[in-house]
Amino acid sequence: MVSAMEIYMLLPKTNCKKCGVATCMAFAVGLLGRQKKVDECTPLIEEKKYEAKLKKLREVMAPIEKASETGLIIHPEKCFGCGNCVVACPVNVAAEPTRTAVGLGPEGEKVILRVEDGVVVVNNLKECKRFGPSGTLCNACTATCPSKAIEFV
């Protein structure tokens, strides 16, 4: 996972305010939090001297921009299908207490995560505690993943 400082190092560091925030560091934090877009930094886009930094920044930001509304990113290449995330998820347990709560794979459609073909997949993201404007911070799935295949940005 990239940090705000790593993003900041790829910005022009001019604090020109053309992006709508006071400093390039504030813009970096906005990028990380997905409140800002790379294209809002006009010097980075318009000035040739920042071409290499722009290319690297787009690479760094690609996973963050693809993240779900909850900030969830699944790295299938890291997942080996242990299912810890599935049984640790409080929404999954509440949805299927006779299955998920005892370590069995969920069968219903209300569960958020399930393992399919040996890899965790998102089933119903709208049920996630992090979803929507009143979302709460929950990290049960990431905290129990031994391979760091799940992360929130």
Q: Which domains does the chain have, with CATH numbers?
A: 4-66 (1.10.15.40), 72-152 (3.30.70.20)
pLDDT classification of 79: cutoffs 50, 70, 90: very high
d(CA 127, CA 72): 13
pTM for this one? 0.59
What contacts 118, CB < 8 A, 6 or more positions away? 79, 80, 81
What contacts 29, CB < 8 A, 6 or more positions away? 4
Share of the chain above pLDDT 70, in %: 95
Share of the chain above pLDDT 90, in %: 50
Residue 70 has pLDDT above 70, yes or no: no
